[in-house]
Structure 1
Amino acid sequence: MSKELTVRYFAMFRENAGKTEERVTTSAATAADLFRELHDRHGSAEPLAHCKVAINDEMASWDSVLTDGDTVLLFPPVAGG
């Protein structure tokens, strides 16, 4: 079943997508499925395990189930010090 999501991109994800946000129609069941779909669409060198995801402004796990109308935020690895 397809759903419409808002995806917000940060840092390198924004650079790869060429935009900060987009609406996508997808049949991705989980955040990980969406990551793989967007990776194929926009490309990315980072593996999923190095990145973070938030759904509706709350940090989430990659196996979180997506529902129609969700807002998904993708964050690349962040180095600190």
Structure 2
Amino acid sequence: MTKTRQTLGQWGEEIAAKYLVAQGMVILDRNWRTSAGEIDIIARDVNAVIFCEQKLQDLRQVHPPARGPTVPQGRQPFSRV
């Protein structure tokens, strides 16, 4: 990952975290890593713990929804429990 792309990703995570806090959530952890991967933001709402994967899209390369982010083959998407 290039330094510019990494910086852009960090900027996107900061915006997402500020949005969640503005919605009344508490940020519990960021960039939490396990052997299975990384979770960008873990937040707590009144009745739930929220796991967030932030994706920042370059507006110069906007794609229709069918070409948006997908779940890698063999992996299950996160779901609300």
TM-score, normalising length: structure 1:
0.25
Q: In proportion to residue count, which structure has more helix?
A: 2
Which structure has the larger Rg? 2
TM-score (norm 2): 0.25
Structure with a larger share of its residues in strand = 1
